[in-house]
Chain A
Amino acid sequence: DAGVTQSPTHLIKTRGQQVTLRCSPKSGHDTVSWYQQALGQGPQFIFQYYEEEERQRGNFPDRFSGHQFPNYSSELNVNALLLGDSALYLCASSSDGQETQYFGPGTRLLVL
């Protein structure tokens, strides 16, 4: 049973570019949440998707957007990249109504 998977594992972009990160939830899970983790900090909630809709959003600008597909996989898009967007981006999946979220290994994004 595969856990949460994310791709790519690492990514280097330059300022102003756009990036798309991908996540496949754990088998049986239908809810996907995205988090940003800066170096030395705890993960910060970006948004959560359920039934292909954004259900809740954290304190992130509109440059951060997402999508959930019918198979429950999800994408995180970041436009007009800034240096400060450099971070580990984590995807977590869960089953709607259940508290426990399971995290993927993350995508390390470096913006130059």
Chain B
Amino acid sequence: LAKTTQPISMDSYEGQEVNITCSHNNIATNDYITWYQQFPSQGPRFIIQGYKTKVTNEVASLFIPADRKSSTLSLPRVSLSDTAVYYCLVGDMVDTGFQKLVFGTGTRLLVSP
């Protein structure tokens, strides 16, 4: 059972900012929040990861409120090439200490001209 809930799909236009929100009400203290992007017939690509507050890299920003029960992936000025499926994952640390990634069905983002 996926530990996250995110919209099934979103539509946007080139140049707009896109915000995808993910709910993870049962996030554990040691869990990290990670976002992946996947194009058709390709493996998922790591976008960004965070634990709390805000994280920014050259691709996206990740906003995490204090209660950590949700997070928002922000893609500034999207282009057609940002059309993909975006997965929000919460780190699943088992006793051995490693992370088993648990994917949901993701959010299909369609960027139009």
Asked whether B46 is an interface residue with its Cβ less than 8 Å from the other chain, the reply is: yes
Give B41-55 interface residues, CB cut-off 8 Å to A. 41-46, 49
Q: With A42-B103, A43-B103, A108-B41 given, is the CB distance from A55 to B91 under 8 Å?
A: no
Cβ A45 vs Cβ B102 within 8 A: yes
Q: Which of B13-21, B57-65, B67-75, B93-101 lies at the interface with chain A?
A: B93-101
Q: How far is the CA of A45 from the CA of B98 in the complex (A)?
A: 13
Q: What is the bound-complex CA distance between A100 and B36, given in angstroms? A: 10
Contact B98–A104 (Cβ < 8 Å): no
Q: How far is the CA of A55 from the CA of B93 in the complex (A)?
A: 13
A9 to B72, alpha carbons, bound, how many Å?
34
Interface stretch, picked from A11-19, A62-70, A77-85, A88-96, is A88-96
Interchain CB contact (< 8 A) of A103 among B34, B44, B91, B99: B44
Min CB–CB distance B91 → chain A (angstroms): 6
If over half of A's interface residues share one DSSP class (helix, strand or loop), that class is named, otherwise mixed; here it is strand
Whether B42 pairs with A105 at a CB distance below 8 angstroms is: yes
Cβ-defined contact, B42 with A56, below 8 A:
no
A99 CB contact (under 8 Å) in B41, B45, B91: B91
Cα(A92)–Cα(B87), bound, Å: 15
Q: Are A106 and B100 in contact (CB under 8 A)?
A: no
Interface pair A99/B102, CB less than 8 Å apart: no
Q: Give B77-106 as 1s and 0s: 1 = Cβ < 8 Å from A's Cβ atoms.
A: 000000000010001001011111111111
Q: Determine the chain B residues whose CB is within 8 A of the CB of A103 once the complex forms.
A: 36, 43-46
A6 smallest CB distance to B (angstroms): 8
Provide the bound-state CA to CA distance between A50 and B98, in Å: 10
In contact, A99 and B32 (Cβ under 8 angstroms): yes
Residue ranges of B at the interface with A (Cβ–Cβ < 8 Å): 2, 32, 34, 36, 41-46, 49, 87, 91, 94, 96-106
| 5 CB-based A-B contacts, threshold 8 Å | A31-B98, A43-B103, A45-B100, A99-B91, A103-B45
Known: A42-B105, A103-B45. 16 other contacts (CB 8 A): A4-B43, A35-B101, A42-B103, A43-B101, A43-B103, A45-B101, A55-B96, A56-B96, A56-B98, A88-B41, A92-B43, A92-B101, A99-B34, A100-B49, A101-B99, A103-B36
